[in-house]
A and B are shown apart, each in its own frame.
Chain A
Amino acid sequence: MNHDPHSVGLVCPQTAHFSTPLTLASGHVLPSYELVFETYGTLNQQASNAILICHALSGHHHVAGRHHPDDKAAGWWDNMVGPGKPIDTDRFFVVGVNNLGGCHGSTGPRSINPATGQPYGSSFPVVTVPDWVHAQARLADYLGIRCWAAVIGGSLGGMQALEWSIRFPDRLHHALVIASAPKLTAQNIAFNDVARQAILTDPEFYGGDFYQKDAIPRRGLRLARMLGHITYLSDDGMGEKFGRLLRSGEYKFGYDVEFEIESYLRYQGDKFSDYFDANTYLLMTKALDYFDPGTEWGQGDLARALQRAEAKFLIAAFTTDWRFSPARSKEIVKALIDAQKTVSYAEIESAHGHDAFLMTDPPYVALMHAYLNLVALKAGV
């Protein structure tokens, strides 16, 4: 174990405590909060080589490496982050952070509200992508990073990278926005709402205050995850992997698991409901729904919003992604070109649907290598 020269090896999460109140988009004020984060590589003298990795809906700060030698799985983007990998920890200082409202250690609905001594539960305020970016900027201050060499994210993470470029134009040199969108479509919001309804109507949810009841709205979370998972895969990919395969080879004429795809989805749902927090899931989907920088910064015109940006952009999408299709990425590209910004766009052929941003399709890896090499040159590393 851990002799892999391309792995960051054993890593240890850290916690930053912030006692300056944070005013959220909703108007709520978080008097104090904690962010859990991990770092890989070394921050150079000029602090010019820092990269922030923003996570997606179910992600967290554990981006690469392992916490224990016998961990079965490495961090969620271990294939992209490590020595010699595209996000090369021999050159960059890489920061992964669990967002506010998360359930992996940063202050969220599961945390104890210092004012009451009870878990926040339903009283945890709704947080938005701009709120996260705000909190991330404070983490950057805490780490002594004035300007990121790059802010990188896929899906909901890409939205954070885009928001960074508009909210703090002089605090990043590059934004990598992968398999993302400038705002959700009605169809996307609809998927999110079905997922939320699954959780909200679970009798074990107790209006969000299930912690005190020693309950877990497992069924709701499971359904939400199963639905989400369908939208992360492509029809082709799913067909190739599962087709109409039956577990026992014949129809049972009942409602138990029969098709392999059913078994797979239920397994994914079960696994997810073991560790993910229902309130966090609700929050994350709301953050997705509300994200709309074109309206917030440009009166409905994304190009106008992006006038502020100073970063260089890489936008990437995947051909079979229908949750955030290439057409959505191209809206960002068009706005950036209209705003005369520096941008490149790649549409990677992949069978992996939305999940492709986590995979290692060779052109995707080559693209990331090429772009991050530019980022490194700019950072002087």
Chain B
Amino acid sequence: MLRSDLQLIADWIPARSRVLDLGCGDGQLLAYLSQHKKVVGYGVEIDVNNVIRCVSSGINVVQGDLEAGLSDFQSDAFDVVVLSQTIQAMRHIEQIMVEMLRVGREAIVSFPNFGYWKNRLQILQGHMPVSETIPYDWHNTPNIHLCMLRDFEALCAKNQIEVKERVVMDGGSRIDFLPNLLGSLAFYRIGRAV
């Protein structure tokens, strides 16, 4: 069973496509995709133990730091580039978004929605929020660039990135009503605006 957020991403990826999974962790998504959708691709992962896990399950993985850019990959080399729940911990966000759409025709980005009502409530109560999708205390969080849906969309517009599809989830179910308030996890399918 694939984690529900990864399942949503997997459902967006066409069979037999070439996929680059940035921050691929233990390679779960790629393993699922290669098994069920005959997808070929590579993962990029910084942690050596995760790299070894990927190798164990026969996933192509390249150890590297996303902050260093994607210069190892040619333009238009992939159908889909995935960045799952990683962007909020990255330093150079615009750079990676532009790079993703250089090497891939399309990208899928997911991130925790800071505008989620439980987060807002905790701020109103005078605390930095801790929730299922942002499970860190303020002093030890890897997240440095949290945003809400509208912020992300504004950044896309600024960089001529087209939002092709958006899904917002909370606890495994889709949120269509007031997503920026009621959704804890956002998924975007984006491409180059022409």
Contacts and interface: CB of A to CB of B under 8 A. Distances in A.
Interface stretch (A1-9, A278-286, A339-347): A339-347
A373 B54 CA distance: 13
B8 interface: no
B72 A344 contact: no
A343 B18 CA distance: 14
B63 interface: yes
A91 to B, nearest CB: 16
A334 interface: yes
Interface in B29-73: 40, 42, 48-49, 51-56, 58-64, 72-73
Interface in A313-349: 314, 330, 333-334, 337-338, 340, 342-349
Nearest to B46: A347
A346 B56 contact: no
A5 B127 CA distance: 59
Nearest to B54: A344
Residue from the set B51, B54, B64, B77 with the largest chain A CB neighbour count within 10 Å: B51
A370 interface: yes
A367 B74 contact: no
B48 A363 contact: yes
B56 A373 contact: yes
Nearest to B62: A345
Interface string B75-107: 001000000000000000000000000000000
B56 A349 contact: no
B49 A363 contact: yes
A344 B73 contact: no
A112 interface: no
B72 A374 contact: no
A340 B55 CA distance: 17
Contact of B64 (A314, A347, A348, A349): A347
Contact of B55 (A330, A338, A346): A346
A377 to B, nearest CB: 9
Chain B: number of interface residues, binned into ranges:
20 to 34
A366 interface: yes
A206 interface: no
Nearest to A313: B60
Contacts, number: 57
Interface in A361-381: 363, 366-367, 370-371, 373-374
Nearest to A348: B48
Contact of A330 (B40, B72, B74): B72
B64 A367 contact: no
Nearest to A333: B62
A126 B77 CA distance: 41
Contacts of A370: 52-53, 55-56
B60 to A, nearest CB: 6
A344 B61 contact: yes
Contacts of A330: 72
A314 B73 contact: no
Contacts of B53: 370
A374 B51 CA distance: 14
A346 B48 contact: yes
B58 A345 contact: no
A344 B60 contact: yes
Contacts of B72: 330, 333-334, 337
Contact of A337 (B52, B54, B62): B62
B128 to A, nearest CB: 33
A326 to B, nearest CB: 9
A346 B60 contact: no
B44 to A, nearest CB: 10
A371 B72 CA distance: 22
A337 B56 contact: no
Contacts of A344: 51, 54-55, 59-62
Contacts of B18: 340
A345 B58 CA distance: 12
A347 B63 contact: yes
Contacts of B54: 344
B178 to A, nearest CB: 42
Contacts of A363: 48-49, 52
A334 B73 CA distance: 7
B18 to A, nearest CB: 8
B63 A345 contact: yes
Contacts of B56: 370, 373-374
A347 B47 CA distance: 10
Contacts of B64: 345, 347
B49 to A, nearest CB: 7
Nearest to B53: A370
Contacts of B60: 342-344
Interface of B: 18, 40, 42, 48-49, 51-56, 58-64, 72-74, 77
Given A338-B74, A343-B62, A371-B55, 8 more contacts: A314-B55, A333-B72, A342-B60, A343-B60, A345-B61, A347-B48, A349-B48, A363-B48
24 contacts: A314-B55, A333-B62, A334-B72, A337-B73, A337-B77, A343-B62, A344-B51, A344-B54, A344-B60, A345-B61, A345-B64, A346-B51, A346-B52, A346-B55, A348-B48, A349-B48, A366-B52, A367-B48, A367-B51, A367-B52, A370-B52, A370-B56, A371-B55, A373-B56
The 5 closest A-B pairs by CB, nearest first: A370-B56, A370-B55, A345-B62, A347-B63, A363-B48
